Amino acid sequence: MEEIKIHQFNPVIYPYKIWIVVSKSADIIAERFYEYNGKPIEFLNRDTGNLRAFVMTVTSKDQAYYGAIMLFRSKKSMSYELVAHESSHAAKYLFEHIGADVKEHEPFEFVVGWIADCCYQVKTGKFK
């Protein structure tokens, strides 16, 4: 059985992380992260079992980092449409965290594209 890896990406200019994991189970998220408010994650597999992917805001268990974690059930499920959809969610969470307005289009669209590229790197295994 292959070890499940959580890929971490740092947007550098924002105090936020993006984590991407490919796994049929969401257990690894609850093992390594808290909800954004610092509480234990308890709902994942019960509430997300039928989804092909989801995004949620989290904090690392050492509470050193905030960010969004994206879970895809398989690399096959990482279609352009689904990656674009989930990347938009993650970008909105980032902008919410830093208090930025998504109406300032170019910064938001840049972040969406950057997150989609992070997903592409995970899907293909070709990291920059």
Low-confidence ranges of the chain (pLDDT < 50): none
pLDDT at 46: 60
Whether the Cβ atoms of residue 116 and residue 87 lie closer than 8 Å to each other: yes
Residue ranges of domains in the chain = 6-124
How far is 43 from 1, CA to CA, in rounded Å? 25
pTM over 0.75: yes
Q: 């307005």: which residue's tokens?
A: 101
Q: Which pLDDT tens digit goes with each residue over 85-114? A: 999 999 999 999 999 988 877 999 999 999
48: which 2 tokens?
Answer: 């997300």
Q: Residue 69: name the closest of 59, 57, 60 by CA.
A: 57
